[in-house]
Amino acid sequence: MGISIHNVSKTFGNFNALQDVSLTIPSGKLVALLGPSGSGKTTLLRLIAGLEQMEQGQILFDGEDTTTKSIQERQVGFVFQHYALFRHMSVFDNVAFGLQVRSRTERPAKTEIRAKVRELLRLVQLDGLESRFPAQLSGGQRQRVALARALAIEPKVLLLDEPFGALDAKVRQELRKWLKQLHHALQITTVFVTHDQEEALEMADEVVIVNKGGIEQVGSPVEVYQRPANPFVYSFLGRVNTFTGKVVAGEFQLGALRYQTEDTRRWNNSHVVGYIRPHELEVAPVSGGEGWAAAELTHISMIGPLVRLECKLIESGIPFEIEVSGEQYLEITKQVKGNLYVNVKQMRLFATKESPIQLEEKNHIQSVSLAVSELKA
Ligand code: ATP
């Protein structure tokens, strides 16, 4: 089931939660709505489900307008962050609920319901636990029951709102892998909301970056990470250094630091902000020649197999980060005498309207820490 969202707007009182949002969700894909808190992800998900009414726009399921259709008519399975299981019902009854509440003519026979629930519990790896009550399950198990319950009605679309948000890091990681495999096996169009970039990049076929009630970018995890459409996406998806400089004769210049490509040539005679991921800077114990700048190492931290070097440019004092392998780090420290030297391997430029003087003061590291950085620790 493909979903087409056309020019959707939603307000709560005077507040515009979504403004003129358009999006296509291809059939069978696993799509992440990723964005900061309050950006409108849940509102969009609830509109797709039919749990909210929009003021403007249209949502089509396989080309059919859903505006007047309820969640049941849309055949949507919904999983909330906080389980929302019926506490007084067993696991079996929770999973069977969507089938048991159907009208007599549509309700499957008891034996059929039993077989279906058992099959689903096997699928979510909870066979044998059907007579337990939610309070007798772990958080991860409860969330798998919630998923089995959503799948029981054989939904055409599965919608998950921060499904792993309430779980601890290890369980979250296991469930991510498991949900991806499950999606691969079932191929149901699935949309999940998350504010965790690592979760979105690891799981989704497509990532939709939501910000301030609009969509900043849609693309595969590699596309949005490697080719961010704008500074917001750059900063939101991982760590990034920002260097403000100017482009002279097609070359980005910030003191001794130089960089030139097709992209920089387009910005000739402009003041620009260069966005550089920590691994896109080269570092050496001696200068590699023109374009290299001297830097002082101010702090070192281990991040899994990598070493993060916090540095500042000698000429301007501008701070930045570089990430290198442990091996590279040892090699550099063996040879270094005093300063380090850095060179730009890759950089994306974006315009700025501010004056050069203000800009130089504004050079800084924009480090948006990964929400699951504790996983790596
Ligand atoms: P989070 O990650 O924190 O859940 P989100 O991106 O899912 O955030 P939404 O829940 O969609 O954000 O909310 C978007 C904006 O709309 C927020 O500013 C929120 O306060 C507001 N909002 C959401 N639901 C309502 C409501 N029922 N009444 C009033 N304002 C609401």
Tell me, which fold does domain 3-235 have in CATH?
Answer: Rossmann fold (3.40.50)
Domain ranges of the chain: 3-235, 240-376
pLDDT (0 to 100) of residue 74: 85
User: CA geometry: angle at 102 spanning 96 and 103, to 5°?
Assistant: 150
Q: Is 43 in the pocket of ligand 1 (CB under 6 A)?
A: yes
Stretch 143-171: mean pLDDT: 83
pLDDT (0 to 100) of residue 366: 45
Q: How far is the CA of 17 from the centre of ligand 1 (A)?
A: 7
Give 304 or 209, the one with higher predicted confidence: 209
**pLDDT-derived band of residue 83, with 50, 70 and 90 as boundaries?**
low
Candidate CATH numbers 2.40.50.100, 1.20.1260.10, 1.10.8.350, 2.40.128.720; the one for domain 240-376: 2.40.50.100
253-257, 285-289, 356-360: segment of lowest average pLDDT: 356-360
**pLDDT-derived band of residue 152, with 50, 70 and 90 as boundaries?**
confident
Atom of ligand 1 nearest to the CA of 46: 11
Give 41 or 352, the one with higher predicted confidence: 41
Q: How far is the CA of 52 from the centre of ligand 1 (A)?
A: 12
Residue 62 has pLDDT above 50, yes or no: yes
Q: What's CA 112's distance to the chain center, in Å?
A: 39
Residue 286 has pLDDT above 80, yes or no: yes
Q: Whose CA is nearest to atom 1 of ligand 1?
A: 37
Rounded Cα distance between 311 and 278, Å, is 11
Pocket perturbation via mutation, ligand 1, pick of 14, 16, 42 by most ligand atoms within 8 A of CB: 42
pLDDT (0 to 100) of residue 49: 92
Q: Is 40 in the pocket of ligand 1 (CB under 6 A)?
A: yes
How many other C-beta atoms lie within 10 A of the C-beta of residue 245? Answer: 27
Q: Please state the pTM of the whole predicted model.
A: 0.81
Q: How far is the CA of 331 from the centre of ligand 1 (A)?
A: 49
Q: Whose CA is nearest to atom 18 of ligand 1?
A: 38
What is the pLDDT of the chain when averaged over all its residues?
86
Q: Whose CA is nearest to atom 10 of ligand 1?
A: 42
Give 76 or 353, the one with higher predicted confidence: 76
Atom of ligand 1 nearest to the CA of 213: 14
CA distances from 181 to 31, 163, 186 (A): 14, 15, 9
Q: Give me the torsion for CA of 217, 220, 223, 228, rounded to 10°.
A: 20
